[in-house]
Amino acid sequence: MVVIAKTLALYIATALAEIIGCYLPYLWLKKSAPAWYLLPAALSLMAFAWLLTLHPQAAGRVYAAYGGVYVAVALGWLWAVDGIRPSLWDVAGSAVTLAGMAIILFAPRPG
């Protein structure tokens, strides 16, 4: 159970780094935020890439499983930052992606 919690925490941190790294340039381009927002955005995207390397599974499996967590974290961002409550369909879709992530990541494998 501890391994699962640590894995999920790492995926959530990875997703937040990616979202922040993309959200700050969005603010600069669309909401007239200052250009210096691009520096923390770049640092956040570097952290995102580095965090992906900390996952112990094969890269392709990490990227596939990460997608499910990213969807859930992005919907949390939608609610917390954008102030838009996810719909029931958003939540259902997120649950499906998280189920897929769990199957990909935690399924028993030979060897």
Q: How far apart are CA 32 and CA 25, in angstroms?
A: 10
pLDDT higher at 3 or 93: 93
The pair of three-digit structure tokens given for residue 15, joined into one six-digit string: 């997703």
Q: Quick check: 79 and 86 in contact, CB under 8 A? A: yes
Give the pLDDT of residue 88: 98
pLDDT band (50, 70, 90) for residue 78: very high
Tens of pLDDT, residues 4-36: 889 889 999 999 999 999 999 999 999 999 999
Give the pLDDT of residue 99: 95
Spell out the domain ranges in the chain. 2-106
pTM of the model: 0.89
Q: How far apart are CA 24 and CA 11, in angstroms?
A: 20
Mean pLDDT for all residues in the chain: 93
Q: How far apart are CA 22 and CA 73, in angstroms?
A: 14
